[in-house]
C-alpha cells in the first residue's frame, strides 16, 4: 500500500531544527544530555508541528505497549460501569490505556479473552474473576480483584467488613430475627459478605441464610422465596448481598402489601445506579472502586517496570504459576450508606398488609 505517513515524527522535528533524531528523543523524554535551550526549542517545535509519538514505534523498541487488559468474565455485572471507569482513570493517570475483553460469562471463552489481550501485547492484566475461577499462566503480570480471602488476590474491597457494618447497623436498629439472602453460594465475594454479617451478629440475634440461585435452578424462574411467610414468622430485616437482590425483595414485598421499612428493613450491597432513586432508597454498602483501581494499577505497573531483570532465560518453559502481583494494601474499607429502606425493628404481630395508615 505504501501509505505515506502524514504526521510529524522524530526525524521530521530533527530535520526542521537541523539536529539528530536521537537528540530530539532525548530532549522530549529528558533522558540523555541535551542543553537547556535546545530542549526548549525542541519542545516548542514539537508542539508547533503537533507531534504525537508513535506508540507502535515505541512499543516495538521498548517491548512495552503501555496498555493494560481488563478482563471481566461476568460483564453483565452491573458494577461494570464503575469498574471500567475507575480502571480507565487509574490507568490513564499513569499513562496507560485500557483494553477490554469479555468472555460472555462462559469459562472457556475466558481463556480466549485473555488470549486476545495477550496477542494485542498488553503489559499486564486486571482480572475480576467470576466465582473463584483460577487464572492460568499467561506470561505477564496479573492483578486479581476478588476478595481478601481469595488466594492470589491483589486488592479488593473488604467485603467481610462491609457485611459486618450492615449487620451492626441492623443490630443497632434492634432487629433480632434477620434473613441473610445470597445469590450464588460459589461466589467468593458473596461468601465474604455473608460471613461478615454472621460474624457481627450477636448470639441473641437469630439469622438464617438462603441462597437464591440454587432455588431458581431447581424450581425454575417461577420459584418463589415465600417472603410473606418469612415476614409473618417474625423476620424484621432482610440483608442481601447485592442491590439487585435487594430490589427484587423490595418490590416483591411492596407488591405483597408490606411496608419497607415499616414492616421489614431491606439492605443491599454495591450502591448501584438505581439504589438512590427507588422508593424507599436502599440502605447499602458502597465500595471505593477508584481506590481499588488505583492500587491494582499501581501494583501492576510496579511489576511491569521492575520485572525485566528477572526475565526468564528459558522462553519455552513457561511458568505454571500465575504471576499475580501483590499490593501493600490488599483490602480497602467499604462505606455504609444509610438511606430509607432500613428502620427500627417493629416485630410483626398481626398481619395487616393493607388497610392501615402509615
Partner DNA sequence: AGCGTTTGATTAATCGATTAACCATTGATT
Partner DNA sequence: AATCAATGGTTAATCGATTAATCAAACGCT
Residues 6+ apart with CB under 8 A from 318: 137, 139
Check: CB of residue 38 under 8 Å from CB of residue 24. Answer: no
Check: CB of residue 135 under 8 Å from CB of residue 142. Answer: yes
Q: Which of 279, 306, 338, 347 binds its own copies (CB under 8 A)?
A: 279
Binding of residue 8 to its own copies (CB under 8 A): yes
The minimum distance between CB 5 and its own copies, in angstroms, equals 7
Binding of residue 273 to its own copies (CB under 8 A): yes
Q: Quote the CA–CA distance of 193 and 25 in Å, as a whole number.
A: 52
Q: Quote the CA–CA distance of 224 and 203 in Å, as a whole number.
A: 29
Q: Which is nearer to DNA, 63 or 262 (CB)?
A: 63
Q: Give kind and range of the element (H or E) at residue 39.
A: helix 36-49
Binding of residue 1 to DNA (CB under 7 A): yes
Would you call 128 helix, strand, or coil by DSSP? coil
Name the binder of 21 from DNA, its own copies, none, CB < 5-8 A by kind. Answer: DNA
Q: Which of 37, 47, 119, 204 binds its own copies (CB under 8 A)?
A: 119
Q: Which of 42, 127, 278, 295 binds its own copies (CB under 8 A)?
A: 278
Binding of residue 223 to DNA (CB under 7 A): no
Binding of residue 100 to its own copies (CB under 8 A): yes
Place of cell 508542539: 47
Binding of residue 35 to DNA (CB under 7 A): yes
Q: Which is nearer to its own copies, 186 or 273 (CB)?
A: 273
The minimum distance between CB 21 and DNA, in angstroms, equals 5
Phi first, then psi, for residue 125 (nearest 5°) are: -125, 140
Residue 118: which of 327, 326, 323, 325 has the closest Cα?
323
Map residues 5-34 to x or -, x wherever contact with DNA holds by CB under 7 A. Answer: x-x-xxx------xxxxxx-xx-xx-xxxx
Site for DNA in 39-78 (CB under 7 A): 51, 53-54, 56-58, 60-63
Check: CB of residue 274 under 8 Å from CB of residue 290. Answer: no
Binding of residue 321 to its own copies (CB under 8 A): no
DSSP character string of 303-344: HHHH-GGG--S-SSS--SS--B---S--EE-EEEE--SS---
Q: Which three cell numbers stand for residue 112?
A: 480466549
Residues 6+ apart with CB under 8 A from 154: 142, 143, 144, 145, 295, 296, 299, 324, 325, 326, 327, 330
Name the binder of 26 from DNA, its own copies, none, CB < 5-8 A by kind. Answer: DNA
The stretch among 84-92, 165-173, 197-205, 231-239 that binds its own copies (CB under 8 A) is 84-92
Would you call 133 helix, strand, or coil by DSSP? coil
Site for its own copies in 35-74 (CB under 8 A): 52-57, 59-60, 62-63, 65-67, 70
| Residue 131 CB coordination number (10 Å) | 16
Name the binder of 11 from its own copies, DNA, none, CB < 5-8 A by kind. Answer: DNA
Q: Quote the CA–CA distance of 146 and 163 in Å, as a whole number.
A: 15
The minimum distance between CB 43 and DNA, in angstroms, equals 13
The minimum distance between CB 309 and DNA, in angstroms, equals 13
Binding of residue 153 to DNA (CB under 7 A): no
Cα–chain center distance at 186: 18
The minimum distance between CB 49 and its own copies, in angstroms, equals 8
Q: Which of 23, 27, 88, 236 binds its own copies (CB under 8 A)?
A: 88
Residue 294: which of 126, 62, 137 has the closest Cα?
126
Map residues 123-162 to x or -, x wherever contact with its own copies holds by CB under 8 A. Answer: ----------------------------------------
Task: Write out the residues near DNA by the rule CB under 7 A.
Answer: 1-2, 5, 7, 9-11, 18-23, 25-26, 28-29, 31-36, 38, 51, 53-54, 56-58, 60-63
Amino acid at each position: 500500500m505504501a501509505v505515506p505517513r502524514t504526521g510529524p515524527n522524530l526525524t521530521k522535528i530533527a530535520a526542521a531544527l537541523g539536529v539528530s533524531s536521537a537528540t530530539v528523543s532525548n530532549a522530549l523524554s529528558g533522558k540523555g544530555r541535551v542543553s537547556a535551550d535546545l530542549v526548549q526549542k525542541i519542545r516548542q517545535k514539537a508542539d508547533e508541528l503537533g507531534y504525537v509519538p508513535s506508540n507502535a514505534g515505541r512499543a516495538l523498541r521498548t517491548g512495552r505497549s503501555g496498555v493494560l487488559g481488563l478482563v471481566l468474565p461476568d460483564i453483565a455485572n452491573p458494577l461494570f460501569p464503575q469498574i471500567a471507569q475507575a480502571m480507565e482513570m487509574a490507568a490513564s493517570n499513569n499513562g496507560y490505556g485500557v483494553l477490554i475483553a469479555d468472555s460472555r460469562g462462559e469459562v472457556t471463552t475466558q481463556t480466549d479473552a485473555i488470549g486476545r489481550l495477550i496477542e494485542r501485547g498488553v503489559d499486564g492484566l486486571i482480572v475480576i474473576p467470576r466465582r473463584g475461577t483460577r487464572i492460568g499462566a499467561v506470561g505477564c503480570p496479573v492483578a486479581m480483584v476478588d476478595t481478601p480471602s481469595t488466594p492470589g488476590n491483589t486488592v479488593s474491597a473488604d467485603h467481610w467488613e462491609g457485611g459486618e457494618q450492615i449487620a451492626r447497623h441492623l443490630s443497632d436498629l434492634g432487629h433480632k430475627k434477620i434473613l441473610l439472602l445470597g445469590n450464588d453460594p460459589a461466589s467468593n465475594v458473596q461468601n465474604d459478605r455473608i460471613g461478615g454479617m454472621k460474624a457481627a451478629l450477636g448470639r441473641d440475634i437469630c439469622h438464617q441464610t438462603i441462597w437464591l440461585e440454587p432455588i431458581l435452578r431447581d424450581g425454575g424462574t417461577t420459584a418463589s422465596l415465600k417472603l410473606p411467610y418469612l415476614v409473618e414468622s417474625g423476620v424484621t430485616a432482610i440483608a442481601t448481598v447485592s442491590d439487585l437482590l435487594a430490589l427484587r425483595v423490595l418490590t416483591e414485598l411492596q407488591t405483597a402489601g408490606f411496608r419497607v421499612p415499616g414492616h421489614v428493613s431491606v439492605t443491599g450491597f454495591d450502591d448501584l445506579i438505581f439504589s438512590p432513586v427507588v422508593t424507599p432508597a436502599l440502605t447499602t454498602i458502597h465500595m471505593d472502586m477508584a481506590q481499588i483501581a488505583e492500587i491494582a494499577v499501581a501494583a501492576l505497573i510496579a511489576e511491569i517496570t521492575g520485572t525485566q531483570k528477572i526475565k526468564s532465560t528459558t522462553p519455552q518453559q513457561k511458568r505454571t504459576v500465575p504471576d499475580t502481583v501483590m499490593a501493600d494494601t490488599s483490602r480497602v474499607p467499604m462505606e455504609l450508606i444509610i438511606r430509607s429502606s432500613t428502620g427500627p425493628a417493629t416485630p410483626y404481630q398481626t398481619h395487616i398488609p393493607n388497610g392501615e395508615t402509615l
